[in-house]
Structure 1
Amino acid sequence: MTAPIPLRPGGQLASSVCTTRVIVVRAPAAGNPVIACGGSPMVPAAPGQAAASTVTDAVTLIGKRYVDADQSLEVLCTSSGVGELSCDGVAMTLKAANALPASD
């Protein structure tokens, strides 16, 4: 098994099995979780090589934020793909939108 990639905000990762690409928005202070897509660990994305494709049956959606179970890790999808994101073997979920305060 390969060593986990150090995660830091702004880091870009790419799937090795589909067109999914993400940017790390928030990384946990302690530990180094393994982010996978489609069951395979993600790899550092090559700069400037955006996967330009239209995926009609995408599971990971462009422009959406995904979080791990305790919300210490957050990623932003920059290219859709058919693989499901996971963190240490647990599926990541769509981040819920924050409710805006009521205006009186």
Structure 2
Amino acid sequence: MVELRPGARFQSTVCTTEVIVVKGTGPTELTCGGAPMAAAGSTERSGEPSAGASEGTLLGKRYGDQDETIEVLCTKAGPGSLALGDVPLTVKVTKPLPASD
């Protein structure tokens, strides 16, 4: 489990994915590629993402859960998929800017 707080940075332990927390607090099981994420710079990468968690993450996209309790921003893309425990995080839909005439 990792302690979430806005601004905290985490890296995958099985791929190149790195994220920064935008919203969320408290201890949470944040995973990438089926393995728990670690604080950025705290551990070496080893292994590969599991087969069910290898859809990949996209650079610059925000990911969140259905309840909107967590939001992370991908700062480095990778082949692993983000999840909160067993629940996959999905790409948040961007809101269109108002038209200017």
TM range (shorter): 0.7 to 0.9
Alignment of 1:1-104 (within 5 A): 4-28=1-25, 31-46=26-41, 59-103=56-100
SS for the counterpart of 2:28 is coil
State the Cα distance separating 1:72 from its structure 2 match.
1.3
Which secondary structure state, in structure 2, belongs to the residue aligned with residue 22 of structure 1? strand
Aligned-CA RMSD value: 2.0
Counterpart of 2:49 in structure 1 is: none
How far is the alpha carbon of 1:33 from its aligned partner?
2.1
Structure with the largest fraction of strand = 2
Runs of 5+ consecutive residues of structure 2 not aligned to the other structure: 43-54
The runs of 4+ residues in structure 1 deviating greater than 4 Å are: none
What is the distance in 1 between the residues matched to 2:77 and 2:85?
Answer: 21
> Secondary structure at 1:32's aligned position in 2?
strand
User: Counterpart amino acid of 1:90?
Assistant: V
Matched residue, 1:54: none
> Percent of aligned positions with the same letter in both sequences?
49
Name the CA distance, whole Å, in 1 between partners of 2:38 and 2:27.
14
Cα distance, 1:102 vs structure 2: 4.8
Give the alignment's TM-score, normalised by structure 2.
Answer: 0.80
Query: Residue type of the partner of 1:101?
Result: P
What is the letter of the counterpart of residue 69 of structure 2? S
State TM-score, norm by structure 1: 0.77
Report the equivalent of 2:51: none
